[in-house]
Amino acid sequence: MKTLKALDKKLIRDLLRLRGQIIAIALVVACGIASFVSMLSAYESLKLSQATYYQEYHFAQVFAQLKRAPESLTAQIREIPGVAQVQTRVIADVSLDIPGRDEPATGRLISIPERQMPILNDLYMRKGRYLEPGRSDEVLISENFAQVHHLDLGDSLGAVINGRWQKLRIVGVALSPEYVYSIQGTGDIFPDNERFGVFWMGREALGTAFNMDGAFNDVTLTLMQGAIEADVIFHLDKLLEKYGGFGAYGRKDQLSNRFLSEEITQLQGTATIVPSIFLGIAAFLLHILLSRIIATQRDQIAVLKAFGYNNVTIGLHYLKFVLAIAFTGAFLGTALGLWFGAAVTKNYMRFFSFPILRYEAGTGVIAGAILISIGAAVIGAFMAVQKAVSLPPAEAMRPEPPAHFRPTMIERLGFQNLVSPVGRMILRNLERKPIQALLSIVGISLAVAILVVGRYSTDAMQHMIDVQYRNVQREDVTIVFNEPRPNRVRYEVANLPGVLRAEPFRAVPARLRFQHRTYRIALTGLEVGGELRRLVDRNLRTLKLPENGVILTTKLAEILGVKPGDVLTVEVLEGERPTRTVAVAGLVDELIGLSAYMDIRALNRLMQEGGTISGAYLTADSLQIDRLYALLKRTPAVSGVSVREMAIARFQETIAGSLSIFTTVLVIFACVIAFGVVYNAARIALSERSRELATLRVIGFTQAEIAVILLGEQAVLTLVAIPLGFAIGFALCALMSLTYNSELYRIPLVVSRASFAFAFVVVTLAAIVSGAIVRRQLVNLDLVAVLKTRE
């Protein structure tokens, strides 16, 4: 016990003496743990909320849309092997007139039973009541749409329902697992709660309005345990084919679920990569610190061994030193991580509609954080502790052998007259300890790299906006018809009030197949030479649409495993549902969503139709835009209107918003790490060279001169480390670019000069502040105590 108490006293003295360095390293450990806890707990909270919501509200497993089928077909669907439950519905998109809004909006009307009962994709009532039988004007409204437009119970809004103007009265606000991520269709990838809302209406009222009495145009299924989804989809498609089926698909391809699941997967990747970087730096710093401490305590280790302390006891003593730092960092990091994790989880409520999104940090996450911090500390300290216990007492009693001095490289080259004596001292010390200098450079460069990564997402977001919304999508307004229209409609569109230019497009739902890979997407036919929707390569050069063949976005080609020249099988999912083969003519590098483009005339030929169009891209006179919106709101043929400027705002709110907290946290942590690394490098250098600097003071050097010798060395190391940090940071950004490479969006590898300048300024400021602190300690250096010899 006396042995332990004596060593514990030494441990406490060492911790107090080195408190500045210890605090800096503990903060680095805390940053790593905080990022781990915050990201992983947010991931687990989101994943648990998804699973619980889907289960409790009976989220369907198979979905299918069609033109029209009799209700009697339900019995045949139920008889498909593996089907557990069947829910048929009527669904229609209508134009809305929102009080106080100029722009048109789209409402998706979904039929529900007149009397409340358990159904697939069941509703969570946020407030209000269920529909009353026989009240055809009553609707339930999605929560986000109601909040954006300040709609409440009892409010009314107008809708064009099957060509007739009708008032809808809100009696309840609801949520559905089918619209956790509320987007209109495959052409949209960001929720637009201002222009798209979901409404639930009584089955009889909606069926009568759209001539669907005793019929349905949408069906959802759940499956028995062990059922093969692909077989069920195959049989369902066969049944719905003659009723205009658009192709059934599983839950993984349902739009809301697909985007939510991708976000969860990417969050899991972030929770792995970023903490690994931070904790790696912490382990590196711990190794340097402990190595230097042991080097300065050689005589103490020798005395301990001479008095009978064995290697295990001494090793445990230094291990305790490291664990004290690790546990301090783990405690701070866990507390900070729980706070940030709650903020990240709350941030997701802006984009995903859950009844309750509880933030839960399980004991496994916290225990994992503590184990990771201990592991990083032990790894960082292992080599240093091993060196401590391996020193024989006689060897440790002797001072370290003096360094071997030799002319510096500048002196050997004959340029010594160009450098002052102080400068030669700085260069000589760096050359004398190359490994030590290299480790300091690596530590500082890692801090620079983290700062570059912290700013990277801002650069990438701005580049994505420039590419997608200023080079690819150049229209002001996009209109979509409720069904394909004949060629003459293009001239009517061009003559709408305020329209300066109109370019029609054709969108055909299809399943693209190559070997065993398939993907459901809308084939988009564009006019050759069009200016409002352009195709660009990675160098932003405009590509010309080929007369035949299809052009795919690079990510879609990757999913299908195709390259230019390969032949795709196209299974059209509307009309006569023909199956065709089309060659891949080229690839484009769009950064948002997935697309497949064809010449509109080639697509019309593939469909064996005339000049049919599905909508149009428009540029409009800003002075007449309100007239255009007013007309579109009351045009029954128009089912959707999107505005490019609003799309940019949605992008910034959704993607940039979801990354904003992460980016802010990363930059704060990076600044902490930068200071921790630079300060430790300077402080350790002072500990090692205090005797040498005190000697220089005694022989006549001023305080300013010895400060220049010490801090000048750190300045050289920092200046050398910065370009290396830029290179490492760029490599880490490349890794993040590969991580954020999904169907929803791809973050490009774009790092601006401003980001490099930001990293340079932060590290420089950290070096200046650290230098000021170390210089103050240098001024207070006790020359007598430092110059005492050990002999």
pLDDT digits (tens, 9 = 90+) for 604-658: 888 888 888 998 999 988 888 888 888 887 777 787 777 777 777 777 666 666 6
pLDDT of residue 598: 92
Burial letters for 89-106: b for 16+ Cβ neighbours within 10 Å, e otherwise?
bbbbbbbbbbeebebbbb
Q: How does pLDDT run across 460-475, given as a tens digit for each residue?
A: 888 888 888 888 888 8
Taking residue 469's Cβ as centre, other Cβ atoms within 10 Å add up to 17
Is the pLDDT assigned to residue 186 strictly greater than 70? no
Is the pLDDT assigned to residue 91 strictly greater than 60? yes
Q: How does pLDDT run across 476-489, given as a tens digit for each residue?
A: 888 888 788 888 88
In terms of average pLDDT, the best of 8-22, 86-100, 500-514, 676-690 is 500-514
Is the pLDDT assigned to residue 791 strictly greater than 50? no
Is the pLDDT assigned to residue 149 strictly greater than 50? yes
Start-to-end C-alpha separation, the chain? 32
pLDDT of residue 584: 92
**How confident is residue 407, by pLDDT bands cut at 50, 70 and 90?**
low
- Report the range of poorest mean pLDDT among 437-446, 552-561, 581-590: 437-446
**How confident is residue 397, by pLDDT bands cut at 50, 70 and 90?**
low
- Report the range of poorest mean pLDDT among 168-172, 388-392, 449-453, 615-619: 388-392
Is the pLDDT assigned to residue 75 strictly greater than 90? yes
- Report the range of poorest mean pLDDT among 72-81, 173-182, 395-404, 701-710: 395-404
Amino acid making up residue 632: L
Measured CA to CA, the distance from residue 338 to residue 35 in angstroms comes to: 10
Is the pLDDT assigned to residue 398 strictly greater than 70? no
Is the pLDDT assigned to residue 221 strictly greater than 90? yes
**Interhelix angle 434-467/644-651, nearest 10 degrees:** 150
Is the pLDDT assigned to residue 665 strictly greater than 90? no
Is the pLDDT assigned to residue 522 strictly greater than 80? yes
Q: 198 has which bridge partners?
A: 108
CA 273 to each of CA 21, 230, 283, 486: distance values in angstroms, whole numbers, following the listed order: 26, 35, 16, 52
**How confident is residue 189, by pLDDT bands cut at 50, 70 and 90?**
low
Q: 220 has which bridge partners?
A: 63, 87
Contact call for residues 112 and 216 (beta carbons, < 8 A): no
pLDDT of residue 216: 93
Comparing 307 with 80, the larger pLDDT belongs to: 80
Instruction: Report percent pLDDT > 70 for the chain.
Output: 85
Is the pLDDT assigned to residue 3 strictly greater than 60? no
Comparing 770 with 609, the larger pLDDT belongs to: 609
Contact call for residues 222 and 58 (beta carbons, < 8 A): yes
Is the pLDDT assigned to residue 676 strictly greater than 80? no
pLDDT of residue 568: 92
In terms of average pLDDT, the best of 166-180, 355-369, 775-789 is 166-180
Is the pLDDT assigned to residue 659 strictly greater than 70? no
Taking residue 417's Cβ as centre, other Cβ atoms within 10 Å add up to 8
- Report the range of poorest mean pLDDT among 194-208, 420-434, 522-536: 420-434
Q: What share of the chain is helix, strand, coil (3-state, %, to 5)?
A: 55, 20, 25
Measured CA to CA, the distance from residue 626 to residue 100 in angstroms comes to: 12
Is the pLDDT assigned to residue 108 strictly greater than 60? yes
Instruction: Report percent pLDDT > 90 for the chain.
Output: 17
Average pLDDT over residues 303-315: 78
Average pLDDT over residues 588-597: 85
Is the pLDDT assigned to residue 199 strictly greater than 90? yes
Measured CA to CA, the distance from residue 755 to residue 541 in angstroms comes to: 26
Contact call for residues 64 and 215 (beta carbons, < 8 A): no
pLDDT of residue 217: 92
pLDDT of residue 1: 45
Would you kindly state where each structural domain of the chain is located, as residue ranges? 55-258, 472-650
Q: Whole-number mean pLDDT of the chain?
A: 81
* Prediction pTM value: 0.73
CA-wise closest residue to 689 among 718, 711, 674: 711
Is the pLDDT assigned to residue 120 strictly greater than 70? yes
The torsion angles phi and psi of 225, rounded to 5 degrees, stand at -65, 130
**How confident is residue 282, by pLDDT bands cut at 50, 70 and 90?**
low
Contact call for residues 208 and 190 (beta carbons, < 8 A): no
